[in-house]
């Protein structure tokens, strides 16, 4: 009987010390207590922030469009307005510090145009073009997109010998 009592007594003492030592330690939090605040969002503690960049003067990010990952994650697109005009800024490079204008109302390619909607994917682009009335399509049918823009309204493209077009499409 003494043999069965000693191991039981040893286990009971070990458990008692374990409970006492756990109750005297204060839990420590590995998450930061402060929330990171940006112009349009609060970042929850524990989420890694890759970088913070200054936006151009007068640029106000749009809460309607979340940041878009572009160029296979090499660039972040931010949608907003500047001086009352829609603008899409792209940030890439080391630390996402290289800024460029991706699209803007009255941009270089279309001085009289305005941004109607945005889509970071080809399928989203088709939906945005259809919503704006520039194309018509039949869902579920391949190659059913019809351009609704008057050909006379499109700029005339000039052939270029400087940059040849490379394609992998088999010719018939």
Q: Please tell me whether residues 104 and 91 are part of one structural domain.
A: yes
Q: Please tell me whether residues 90 and 139 are part of one structural domain.
A: no
Coil, helix or strand at residue 73: helix
Q: Which of 60, 101, 104 is nearest to 77 (CA)?
A: 101
C-beta of residue 79 within 8 angstroms of C-beta of residue 33: no
pTM over 0.85: no
Let me know if residue 127 belongs to a domain.
yes
Provide the pLDDT for residue 5: 65
Chosen domain end from 66, 100, 115: 115
> What is the rounded distance in angstroms from the CA atom of residue 60 to the CA atom of residue 40?
9
Higher-pLDDT residue of 92 and 4 is 92
> What is the rounded distance in angstroms from the CA atom of residue 31 to the CA atom of residue 21?
24
Let me know if residue 131 belongs to a domain.
yes
> What is the rounded distance in angstroms from the CA atom of residue 127 to the CA atom of residue 158?
29
Q: Please tell me whether residues 69 and 107 are part of one structural domain.
A: yes
Residues near 55 by Cβ (< 8 Å), separated by ≥ 6? 39, 61, 78, 80, 89
Mean pLDDT is lowest, of 98-107, 109-118, 145-154, for 109-118
Can you give 112-145 as a three-state secondary structure string?
CCCCCCCCCCHHHHHHHHHHCCCEECCCCCCCCC
Compute the average pLDDT of residues 116-133: 72
Q: Please tell me whether residues 96 and 136 are part of one structural domain.
A: no
Compute the average pLDDT of residues 62-88: 85
Q: Please tell me whether residues 65 and 85 are part of one structural domain.
A: yes
Q: Note down the domain range covering 127.
A: 116-150
Host H or E run for residue 16: helix 2-24
C-beta of residue 68 within 8 angstroms of C-beta of residue 120: yes
Residue 80 predicted with pLDDT over 80: yes
Compute the average pLDDT of residues 106-114: 73
**Domain total for the chain?**
2
Let me know if residue 1 belongs to a domain.
no
Q: Please tell me whether residues 80 and 127 are part of one structural domain.
A: no
Q: Please tell me whether residues 101 and 131 are part of one structural domain.
A: no
Higher-pLDDT residue of 31 and 103 is 103
Q: Residue with structure tokens 């809460």? A: 63
Let me know if residue 146 belongs to a domain.
yes
Let me know if residue 43 belongs to a domain.
no
Q: Please tell me whether residues 96 and 128 are part of one structural domain.
A: no
Let me know if residue 164 belongs to a domain.
no
Question: Where does residue 63 rank: exposed (0-12), middle (13-18), buried (19+ CB within 10 A)?
Answer: exposed
């Amino acid at each position: 009987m003494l043999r069965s009592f000693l191991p039981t007594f040893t286990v009971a003492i070990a458990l008692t010390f374990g409970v006492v030592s756990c109750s005297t330690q204060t839990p420590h939090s590995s998450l930061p207590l402060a929330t990171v605040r940006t112009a349009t969002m609060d970042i929850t503690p524990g989420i890694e922030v890759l970088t913070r960049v200054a936006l151009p003067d007068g640029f106000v990010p749009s809460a309607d469009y979340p940041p878009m990952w572009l160029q296979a994650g090499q660039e972040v697109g931010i949608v907003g307005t500047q001086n009352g005009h829609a603008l899409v800024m792209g940030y890439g490079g080391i630390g996402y510090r290289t800024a460029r204008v991706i699209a803007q109302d009255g941009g270089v390619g279309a001085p009289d145009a305005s941004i109607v909607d945005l889509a970071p994917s080809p399928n989203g682009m088709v939906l945005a073009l259809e919503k704006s009335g520039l194309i018509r399509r039949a869902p579920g049918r391949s190659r059913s997109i019809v351009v609704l823009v008057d050909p006379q309204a499109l700029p005339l493209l000039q052939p270029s010998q400087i940059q040849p077009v490379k394609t992998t499409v088999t010719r018939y």
